Structure 1
């Protein structure tokens, strides 16, 4: 609804006076004007209330956003931590495997060394036996050779005696 322009009477009614060096406008307003002003005031109040509500809503949303962001950050950090733990676990496993590998290598070399020692010992034993057999055989041969020699000598003696 369009408001009517003030008439000359209304303009006249709005007189300005000075009270304690301050300009004050005295107005004899019409009922319509009053209604309009009240409406404007109500509108202002409404706007203020709206602004306040919007501000509160924005604050709430901002805090929610911050909370969501915080939660997301915590989640991300937890994920990183978990991955780090897993990686550390992998490293530990790898280190363990490496240690185990080195230990197994050491054990294998020890086993090989023991086997070599055993074989050397057996060979030495075998060689000793063979050596003793050879000596025994050569001794026997020598003994039999000596026996034969002594027998031959005796034979020749007997032959000379006869």
Structure 2
């Protein structure tokens, strides 16, 4: 088992690190707002990309939901599914598209069981990916409220769809 997998298989530690990072980001938010989120993102993005790519094989979707998915990046799913497995999970827990690869959602479920803070969030429905945010900093998007706007718009659409 590689170092990446070993780190990922200890999601409670990653959960605590994310909690600290989120706290720090919110504390720095006034500074980022003052210098401009776009300018701050140019400095932050390379570090965010490197760290997340090394640990999570981040695809830089701009809408990170690692803490909702057992600290497993759902964008590594060959079908880019953000709300659970496709139904094609093999009996051995591997992917139907890439049989040599474990299903991202099998890992997400197993890891979420080890997360006391956000483990239950795996059951939260996620909005569809906004592909316009690909390649942007999810941390800056979080601070700017882009994530909230996406969730609010989705909730409004769902309410309007009901009979």
From the CA coordinates, give the structure whose radius of gyration is larger: 1
State TM-score, norm by structure 2.
0.22
Structure with more strand by fraction: 1
The higher-RCO structure (CA 8 Å, 6+ apart) is 2
